[in-house]
Amino acid sequence: KPKVDSCQMASPQSPVILTQDELKKIAAYKAVEFVESGMVLGLGTGSTACHAVARIGELLQQGKLKNIVGIPTSKKTHEQAVSVGIPLSDLDNYPVLDLAIDGADEVDPYLNLVKGRGGSLLREKMVEGACKKFVVIVDETKLVKHLGGSGLAMPVEIVPFCWKFTLERLRMMFVDAGCVAKLRRFSENGEPFVTDNGNYIIDLYFEKDIGDLKVASDEILRLAGVVEHGMFLDMATTLIVAGELGVTVKNK
């Protein structure tokens, strides 16, 4: 069982109504408390992680953090990190990172995650897999009992070559779970969404439980045409959840 350490910000007697973005920011700021000068940091992607990147930049500018090296998980995060003054490098130069901070789309009670609804799952998995500590930051809407059970997408990054073939193979793989598979497209022009790595994303939606996650993960990865999927199993070491009643830190 994960250890829980909670710090109350509000109580049922004095409720504070916060927006989802404010909750994301609270979780992100809490995670940045784990950052120490001299660390090599994995910088996550998304609307939650961007608060952490902004905060790290702010602390660097104030001189409260020094000698930080950031390893961004997407081109977007790279741009943001440059704009807030975080010195950057990559996994080739730093194959072992001290800490990564990133958001997630779903988190189960064992700290398994679904990531990649923002499309950066491959780089996120590479960077976060190289970290000694991986701190996940979410607002409480991301908590689920079972991965794939929120009715939202489970992303799979695939090569563009014959994508319809790969989509159909993925759908058939989970036919018993009532899987619907869709190519991710830009809503504006209907063109396929292209990842930072030049690949496509298939979003899988499940009507039923997909069963053993490790088995599902291995099966997806065995399919030629698949590059990576958005299940992050047994990777997170710490979970920070911000909700209306406070922020909770769980360590694995």
Q: Does residue 195 come out as left (phi exceeding 0), alpha (psi in the -120 to 50 range) or beta?
A: beta
Tokens of 35: 């950052």
Give the burial string for 8-29 (b: 16+ CB within 10 Å, else e). eeeeeeeeeebeeeebbbbbbb
Q: How far apart are CA 69 and CA 44, in angstroms?
A: 14
User: What single letter denotes the amino acid at residue 22?
Assistant: E
Alpha-carbon separation of residue 60 from 32, 35, 84, 98, 244 (angstroms): 12, 11, 9, 17, 30
By CB under 6 A, name the one of 27, 41, 46, 135 that touches ligand 5RP: 46
Task: Restricting to residues 88-107, name those near ligand 5RP by CB under 6 A.
Answer: 102-105
How many residues contact ligand 5RP, by CB under 6 A? 18
By CB under 6 A, name the one of 120, 199, 237, 238 that touches ligand 5RP: 120
- The smaller minimum CB distance to ligand 5RP, of residues 42 and 57, is found at 42
- The smaller minimum CB distance to ligand 5RP, of residues 37 and 72, is found at 72
Nearest approach, Cβ of residue 191 and ligand 5RP (Å): 19
Q: Which of 22, 36, 106, 124 is catalytic?
A: 124
By CB under 6 A, name the one of 42, 44, 148, 225 that touches ligand 5RP: 44
Q: Is 80 in the site for ligand 5RP (CB under 6 A)?
A: no
For the question of residue 124 being annotated catalytic, the response is: yes
Q: Is 217 in the site for ligand 5RP (CB under 6 A)?
A: no
Nearest approach, Cβ of residue 52 and ligand 5RP (Å): 10
Per CB under 6 A, which region of 29-37, 115-123, 197-205, 235-243 contacts ligand 5RP?
Answer: 115-123
Per the document, the length of the chain is: 252
Q: Residue 230: which of 163, 148, 161, 135 has the closest Cα?
A: 148
Nearest approach, Cβ of residue 113 and ligand 5RP (Å): 8
- The smaller minimum CB distance to ligand 5RP, of residues 62 and 220, is found at 220
- The smaller minimum CB distance to ligand 5RP, of residues 15 and 237, is found at 237
Tokens of 239: 């979970």
By CB under 6 A, name the one of 26, 35, 48, 166 that touches ligand 5RP: 48
Q: Is 251 in the site for ligand 5RP (CB under 6 A)?
A: no
Residue that the structure tokens 């022009």 belong to:
189
Tokens of 165: 């073939």
Q: Are 211 and 177 in contact (CB under 8 A)?
A: yes
Q: Residue 18: which of 106, 139, 105, 138 has the closest Cα?
A: 139
Interface residue list for ligand 5RP (CB under 6 A): 44-49, 102-105, 115-121, 124
Would you name the residues annotated as active-site residues? 124
